[in-house]
Structure formats: C-alpha cells, structure tokens
Amino acid sequence: MTSMPAASPAPMTAEEFLAIPAREGERLELIEGELIVMEGALLQHQLALGNLYGLLWTWSRTEPDRGLVALEVDTQLDRHNVLLPDLQWYAPGRELDATRRPQPLGDLVAEVRSPSTWARDVGIKRDLYERHGAGELWLVDPAARSVLVFARTTPDAPRFDTVTERTADESLTSALLPGFAVDVAAIFG
C-alpha cells in the first residue's frame, strides 16, 4: 500500500492576512502566501531607521510638494503578498487614505538590516519590490555602514537596472528626491 503525500496547505491570501487581529508589538508579513512573524529589531536597526526617517522627513517638509514619508505600514502588493517595509516615500499627488489598511507600494522603499529579516530583504522582498514597481529600493546595512541602492534609470524600466553602494564617507542621493543629499554616516550616527 502506498501512502499519499499530505496535501500542503493553500497559500494564505491577503484578505485572510488582513483579517488577523492586530496585536501590539507584533510585526507580521505575508510573503508568497506564507505568514512571517518577524522578531523584534535590534537597537542599531531602530537608530538607523529613525535617523533615515528624520532625514527624509526634514527634506520632505522644507519645500512644498515633496511627498510623504511613512514608517512600517502594511503594503499589499498582490493576492499573496502584504509586506511591512521599514520606510516608504510616496511621490506628491499619490492617492493615499491614511485611515485604511493596507496602503499601496511607495515610490521609494527602504529596508534596514536586521538579523531575522536580511535574507528576505535582499532576496524575495527585493524581487517583489522590483516586480511591483518600486522606483528605488534602499537596503540599509548598519553593520557595514552602507546603503545599497537599487534603481531604475527610467520610470518605465521593467527592472532595477542600476545598483550602487554608498558607504559612510559618501553621499546618498536619489533621482526621485530632487535636492535630497545626506552623508551616509548621518544615517548611522
């Protein structure tokens, strides 16, 4: 008698994921239909994220029409993917409803290295952000004191077609953020 392999569970949908009651301090993502529970972030992660947010927020407020910067908002990409990027920037004129969950994908996304998430950040999540149209992805690495910048040379480029690494002694800029320039070291200060 041969045994039948056990049926694998059906991938969770975004609708099912978004119906999970929120619990304070719990950070969840849905990646390719799999529920991911993320561990708490290290202090170096939080400091780098806070500094980057502060730098972008200040830039966005110094002149009108510089968009919106948001921290850790549920972002639905498709039926089986709801990510929780560390930081997103939305271009001016984007239609957002601050009272709803989830939000759409930002024009620029940043993920800060954390031991429990980095493999996904540089792998499947980078691929998902690219496939779903993020204009830029910044992978911020506090341990290396550097930022990997994945970008599209034109808004309609089908893939990230440039990758640059900015180190602590260099400046971080973006074609999406006119006038934005910060020393990478300021992110890790």
Residue 51 belongs to domain with CATH number: 3.90.1570.10
Answer yes or no: are the C-beta atoms of 165 and 147 closer than 8 Å.
yes
Per-residue pLDDT, 58: 97
Per-residue pLDDT, 157: 96
Per-residue pLDDT, 74: 96
pLDDT in tens, 94-132: 989 999 999 999 999 999 999 888 899 999 999 999 999
**113 inside domain:** yes
Per-residue pLDDT, 4: 64
The three-class DSSP label of residue 53 is helix
**1 inside domain:** no
Find how far residue 44's CA is from the centre of its chain.
17
Q: Which regions of the chain are under pLDDT 70?
A: 1-8
Per-residue pLDDT, 108: 98
Peptide bond just before 102 cis, omega within 30 deg: yes
Per-residue pLDDT, 6: 67
**63 inside domain:** yes
Per-residue pLDDT, 88: 98
Give the total number of structural domains in the chain. 1
**150 inside domain:** yes
> Residue 147 is part of which domain span?
14-188
